[in-house]
């Protein structure tokens, strides 16, 4: 269903779900080996371009989650800008209102690997930076 339809049916819809699967649109680079059509569309910039939308969708998912509920964030990307960076941004934006939990015991058969704790950031010119803040113009005040 279209998210707008769900929201209009429930008014503002804040805190109405116990569990949310937030499977966001992504670059699809995790499917390159099995879906050859992805190669025609994929660019290194796509992860950067879609990051903001992924954060917006995930933030809306959190707004629809009841206190004490669980949201799983999912992509089919290997790009940390689409995965770990989105989760890090959610944790930063919510200032302690949410926590990252280990789901090993909830889904014991799921094969998983630890996420990245640091990663390089590419800008639109594919210049490599050590952190997102390094990409920002220091003469412009932070939001």
* Residue positions annotated with a catalytic role: 76
Which CB contacts under 8 angstroms, 24+ apart, belong to 43-49? 44/122, 44/126, 45/122, 45/124, 45/126, 47/77, 47/79, 47/81, 47/82, 48/81, 48/122, 48/123, 48/124
For residues 31 and 27, give the distance between their C-alpha atoms in angstroms, rounded to a whole number. 9
């Amino acid at each position: 269903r279209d998210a707008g339809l769900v929201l209009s049916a429930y008014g503002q819809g804040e805190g109405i779900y116990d569990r949310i699967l937030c499977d966001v649109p992504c670059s699809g680079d995790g499917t390159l080996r099995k879906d050859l059509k992805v190669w025609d569309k994929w660019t290194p910039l796509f992860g950067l371009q879609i990051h903001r939308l992924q954060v917006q969708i995930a933030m809306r998912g959190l707004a629809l989650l009841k206190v004490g509920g669980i949201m799983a964030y999912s992509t089919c990307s290997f790009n940390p800008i689409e995965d770990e960076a989105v989760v890090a941004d959610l944790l930063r934006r919510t200032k302690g209102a949410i926590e990252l939990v280990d789901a090993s015991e909830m889904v014991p058969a799921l094969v998983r690997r630890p996420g990245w704790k640091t990663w390089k950031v590419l800008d639109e010119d594919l210049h490599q930076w050590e952190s997102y803040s390094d990409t920002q113009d220091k003469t412009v005040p932070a939001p």
